[in-house]
Structure 1
């Protein structure tokens, strides 16, 4: 496929190749493996496809570097900027069809490109995540991984996450155990792993291992999962700044119902491949 126009986007370093497409769909899974390769392709954490929709303003599909399709909150917010600029649309609120249902995305500030996404309610039931445990919510579940036991809070924010509060996280523990947890037999669809390394009154600091990707600088659904896990553990407040290696996002779990994620989305460059 030649002459393919794309936009390189990121939010807190979580970067994407974004393509608008209104023709018959090719094999995006195979294309994602090529385009996201950081040595032989453009390089990205994922491929975002913007498509026409019969039920929303547009449809968004996201593919991981391993070719699997997934939900992505930062990609969702990035797609709203690309769509608004491409279509020269002045409206601020968009309804977007995703693999996890229709989500609302709002452009808060066009100068700094602050975009907020309503991701809906997190899934806390074991059968919805899915994991074969039969109880919910799953808070501090003793997950046995080789020679260690990690207390994992397991949920889905459109994609499965295991949140582990682990203040003294070394590179060795992160790099050795994150892929083992991702592919643990408990998780029927694998899991992303969110390590909460520091808890402050208004901020959580995280390190991220995304399923199908590996370590990333940021993860929107993961930031939301960290806040949900924090609330389930101590129930003191429902909004936090969440800081990862790439920067800070703001998460609100309003009335313990819908999750709202906001932060900057940035255009890196446009190109043709």
Structure 2
């Protein structure tokens, strides 16, 4: 006999998700299998990932995110979606007199504090970026303390240079004067994602500095994004944090506020450099709701 289970479709700067609330699903639900099925854009609901929202013993809510290939990961845009939905469900305190409603979300990489404003902006504390190879993780020769402007060899192509950082998920940043065209992007991005230097794979961020920043305006980065386990996406929250962190570390931008623009929209990142936590601010919204029919 078939049963119906509710879902919510959400998006944050074009990064779209199928959101399931675990209380409405059987305890035996296999989230990884559901991610593969539901994220399929031809035979499922379609999405860049599956978000599972559930109770937490240490926070107001717990978030899990599964890529379309079923692997579990951290997701910054997904975090803002869960924050928005939690706010709508009345799980966060505050929010009076025009102030934000605040709370904590338990994630794969620890607790993340979020603040939701009625006008739509959601701010999230994203933790301290990790540059050490063991924290990425990355397999590099002993003595290399950070993967910064690191030569990566691709058979049949040659050498590219990357800077890698973990902002809850592993990212490799490739600086370019112009964002790549489709042929270059789709040929090289999956090869970098699956390069043996990264045993758990890496997302790939093609980045350019559109504005270095000055006293009158924040820096602006432009990205084209290839996410591990998902392919090209319109936006990536942890990726925006990664690009900003690398840009600041390499003195490519001025100031501690960086706008990061991708195909789906713009996020505002605040970072004070190495050893300091990053905050991310941007929107998230419900697109539609529905029901999924499944066997009991």
Give the TM interval when normalised to the shorter protein: over 0.9
Once structures 1 and 2 are overlaid, which stretch shifts more, 196-205 or 74-83?
196-205
**SS of the residue 2:149 aligns to:** strand
Give how far 1:17 is off. 0.8
Q: Does the CA contact (< 8 Å) of 2:93 and 2:103 recur in 1?
A: no
Q: 2:206 aligns with which of 184, 191, 195?
A: 195
Give the Cα separation in 1 of the matches to 2:124 and 2:186. 30
Deviations, residues 97-141 of structure 1 (Å, cap 9, x unaligned): 11111111111x213x11011011011111011012242222110
1:87 aligns with 2:90: yes
- Residue 224 (1) aligns with residue 246 (2): no
Q: Which residue in the other structure is 2:16 paired with?
A: 15
Quick check: 2:12–2:284 contact (8 Å CA) kept in 1? yes
Give 1 or 2 for the bigger CA radius of gyration.
2
Q: Are residues 19 and 164 of structure 1, via their aligned partners in 2, closer, same or farther at CA, if it must alter by over 3 Å?
A: same
Q: Distance in 1 between matches of 2:277 and 2:170?
A: 17
Task: Write the distance in 1 (CA, Å) between the matches of 2:3 and 2:122.
Answer: 32
The match for 1:259 is 278
User: How does the TM-score come out when normalised to structure 2?
Assistant: 0.88
In structure 1, the residue matched to 2:189 is 178
Aligned to 2:136: 129
Do residues 155 (structure 1) and 165 (structure 2) align?
Answer: yes
Alpha-carbon separation, structure 1, partners of 2:204 and 2:273 = 25
Check the 8 A contact 2:248/2:273 in 1, yes or no: no
Task: Note if contact 1:227-1:238 (Cα within 8 Å) is conserved in structure 2.
Answer: no
Quick check: 1:5–1:270 contact (8 Å CA) kept in 2? yes
**SS of the residue aligned with 2:126?**
strand
My pick for the range that moved more, 183-192 or 168-177, is 168-177
Structure 2's unaligned 5+ residue stretches are: 95-100, 213-218
How many corresponding residue pairs? 271
Q: Quick one: distance in 2 between partners of 1:254 and 1:94?
A: 23
Return the TM-score normalized by structure 1. 0.95
Partner of 1:268: 287
Partner of 2:231: 214
State the alpha-carbon separation in 1 of the partners of residues 202 and 42 from structure 2.
26
1:181-236 deviations in Å (ceiling 9; x for gaps): 00001001000000003431220000000000000000000001000111121163
Q: Secondary structure at the match of 2:201?
A: coil
Q: Aligned to 2:263, which of 234, 245, 251?
A: 245
- Return the alpha-carbon distance in structure 2 between the equivalents of residues 40 and 227 of structure 1: 36
Question: What is the aligned counterpart of 1:116 among 107, 111, 123?
Answer: 123
Q: Is the 8 A contact 1:197 1:207 kept in 2?
A: no
**Structure 2 Cα separation of the partners of residues 262 and 19 of structure 1:** 23
Conserved 8 A contact 1:117-1:260: yes
